[in-house]
Structure 1
Amino acid sequence: MRNCIPKLGLILISTSGNDLLKLVGKRLFYTLRIEALLFEPYSINELVEIMKSRLKEAFGKNIADELALFEIASFVKSTSQNVRHAFSIIQDAIEVSDENKVTVEVVRKAIEKQMKLAR
């Protein structure tokens, strides 16, 4: 009869940087068979490549200067380390841009805009 009971699994995902023990409590933690998968933050070059690829896919052409993408990647790496944040900045930069070309100047304006909203 016991063979009929399916094995269940539990996946816990944390992006808070807190220790899993603190999140679930000692009692539950020690009853789990933990297998941790750690994902390292993207490097600046990886962020740039991801942005290039997605922009090419979305627009069919290069709409951003490489220096502008490095500016975004540097900012994101030093703040949130979240690739979604990079795309949020690109979206704001496209809105700020007069000619749908993302330049370093346009990126700086978009970052300023986001920093003002965050305050």
Structure 2
Amino acid sequence: MLKRSIKIMFRLNEKEQQFLIKQVQKSGLSQEAFIRALINGYVPKELPPPDYYSMLRELHAIGRNLNQLATKANTTGHIDKTVFQYEANRLRKAVQDIIEAVTAPERRFDNGNYGDLGCDRPP
């Protein structure tokens, strides 16, 4: 059974439809998911650039290398654990910031400006 059983139909003019289609394509979401995000107060972000995932893989590889270095250092006793933990946390934060900056939807605050929805007045 569908979790969303209520169907809502509405009309757009040509300009609004073209704007919606363009925004949906940029986000990579379906029209339904895009509109649900807006209803819930979020503005979906555009799809990340093609090299985004390769950058993330590289950062994760660095993290794995740091982990291997830490393991080796722990067995030999030649590393400052505080310094290593600081660097590992920095790396983790950098990865998280990249993910958030590129893919996480942003909370939309209602300031009366509906220009980001493709019109100059409230719906």
TM-score bracket, normalised by the shorter chain, equals: under 0.3
Higher relative contact order (CA 8 A, sep 6+): 2
Decide which structure has the larger Cα Rg and report it. 2
TM-score by length of 2: 0.23
